[in-house]
């Protein structure tokens, strides 16, 4: 299906629920805000509903104040637009509302997307869902206003790693050129997201870097963030964003991994990054997760030590080489 299919579906319904994956980031929040704005400009009723809060670093965007964590009792939606989710379970407890026989419109760019909607637009060649929402504006012959443009730009910038990842294409820059013409100031957005850190997050980074290890051949680099580190630095899991890039930046590394204790007993979030030669989506999928070829993640229900062991063994098999490593952290 294509943008035309989604346009037809949107014209069919009048009230929409818009949601995205748990633990939201720039693409999911930016695309939701822009989508909600588009629907309102079309005269539709809309509620943005997520399981968790908007990350602090993204709250500068106009529209984030409209993101809800509880469904308004008086709002009876006809269709749910799910953004940036490979499967419906990724919306968390929002799925409880969607399971009531509502039509689902699925817009995504993950290679692992299960086409779970009645209406599906999945394009793995897109830089971000934000870019796809921009095309929807075009399909309805609407021009994004300044706030729409900021939201879409944030979505695209964050999912492309500031336009340096392999999902950045010529089309990506053509879209961002139009967003800049709409008033977006690239450095202002970059500074707000990448050059604005809390002191406790910097201290957490220092703690995490002390756990950095590399396999004997240098192809796997990984770090930990433990509950003790979070307590010591007074940081939150939100403050761990970007830490994995220090492992990814090591010259020889092909797979970067970040292990994070969540605060729940025996529950570890694992993030994967690659430079393009290794498909880490396959690595995440082997533990019930998913994402993109160069950026994926999963949750493992085990102690962090055992999780590390299992994940490193699987990473070794995917690399097809014999790696050695020292997991002693004493």
- Locate the domains of the chain by residue range: 3-194, 199-319
Confidence of residue 291 (pLDDT cuts 50, 70, 90): confident
pLDDT at 261 over 80: yes
User: What's the pLDDT at 112?
Assistant: 86
With a pLDDT cut of 70, the percent of the chain lying above it is 96
Confidence of residue 309 (pLDDT cuts 50, 70, 90): very high
pLDDT at 79 over 50: yes
pLDDT at 289 over 70: yes
Confidence of residue 91 (pLDDT cuts 50, 70, 90): very high
With a pLDDT cut of 90, the percent of the chain lying above it is 78
User: What's the pLDDT at 321?
Assistant: 53
- pLDDT average, residue stretch 108-127: 93
pLDDT at 326 over 60: no
CB-based contact 111:292 (threshold 8 Å):
yes
User: What's the pLDDT at 330?
Assistant: 45
Q: What is the mean pLDDT of the chain?
A: 93
Alpha helices, DSSP H only, in 182-321?
A: 186-194, 199-209, 227-233, 244-248, 280-285, 304-319
Please tell me which residue, 97 or 253, carries the higher pLDDT value: 253
pLDDT tens for residues 148-195? 999 999 999 999 999 988 889 999 999 999 999 999 999 999 999 998
The CATH fold assigned to 3-194 is inorganic pyrophosphatase (n-terminal core) (3.90.1640)
CA-based torsion, 6, 11, 12, 14: positive or negative: positive
CB-based contact 175:285 (threshold 8 Å):
no
Give, to the nearest 10 degrees, the angle between helix 129-139 and helix 3-12: 70
- pLDDT average, residue stretch 33-56: 96
**CA distances (Å), origin 104, targets 8, 48, 83, 261, 298:** 13, 14, 11, 33, 24
- The 10 Å CB-count burial string (b at 16+, else e) for 25-57 is bbbbbbbbbbbbbbbeeeebebbbbbbeebbeb
3-194 and 199-319 have identical folds:
no
What is the domain class of 199-319 according to CATH?
Answer: alpha beta
Confidence of residue 18 (pLDDT cuts 50, 70, 90): very high
pLDDT tens for residues 45-67? 999 999 989 999 999 999 999 99
pLDDT at 101 over 80: no
Confidence of residue 327 (pLDDT cuts 50, 70, 90): low
pLDDT tens for residues 135-158? 999 999 999 999 999 999 999 999
pLDDT tens for residues 212-234? 999 999 999 999 999 999 999 99
Confidence of residue 328 (pLDDT cuts 50, 70, 90): low
Is-above-0.85 flag for pTM? yes
Q: Rounded to an integer, what distance in angstroms lies between the CA atom of residue 62 and that of residue 152?
A: 12
């Amino acid at each position: 299906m294509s943008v035309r299919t989604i346009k037809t579906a949107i014209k069919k319904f009048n009230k929409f629920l818009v949601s995205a994956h748990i633990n939201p980031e720039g693409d999911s929040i930016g695309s939701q805000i822009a989508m909600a704005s588009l629907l309102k400009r079309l005269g539709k009723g809309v509620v943005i509903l997520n399981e968790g809060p908007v990350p602090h670093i993204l709250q500068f965007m106009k529209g984030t104040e409209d993101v809800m964590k509880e469904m308004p009792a008086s709002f009876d939606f006809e269709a749910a637009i799910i953004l940036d989710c490979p499967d419906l379970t990724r919306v968390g407890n929002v799925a409880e509302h969607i399971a009531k026989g509502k039509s689902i419109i699925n817009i995504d760019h993950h290679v692992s997307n299960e086409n779970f909607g009645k209406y599906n637009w999945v394009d793995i060649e897109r830089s971000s869902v934000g870019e796809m929402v921009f095309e929807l504006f075009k399909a309805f012959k609407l021009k994004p206003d300044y706030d729409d443009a900021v939201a879409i730009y944030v979505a695209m910038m964050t999912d492309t790693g500031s336009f340096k990842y392999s999902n950045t294409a010529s089309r990506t820059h053509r879209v961002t050129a139009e967003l800049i013409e709409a008033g977006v100031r690239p450095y202002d957005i970059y500074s707000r997201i990448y050059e604005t850190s809390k002191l406790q997050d910097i201290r957490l980074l220092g703690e995490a870097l002390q756990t950095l290890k590399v396999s004997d051949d240098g192809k796997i680099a990984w770090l930990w963030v433990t509950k003790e580190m979070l307590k010591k630095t007074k940081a939150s899991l939100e403050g761990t964003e970007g830490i994995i890039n220090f492992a990814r930046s090591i010259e020889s590394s092909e797979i970067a991994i970040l292990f994070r204790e969540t605060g729940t007993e025996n529950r570890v979030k694992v993030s994967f990054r690659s430079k393009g030669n290794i498909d880490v989506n396959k690595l995440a999928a082997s533990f019930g997760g998913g994402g993109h070829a160069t950026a994926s993640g999963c949750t493992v229900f085990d102690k962090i030590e055992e999780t590390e062991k299992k994940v490193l063994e699987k990473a070794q098999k995917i690399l097809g080489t014999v790696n050695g490593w020292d997991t002693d952290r004493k």
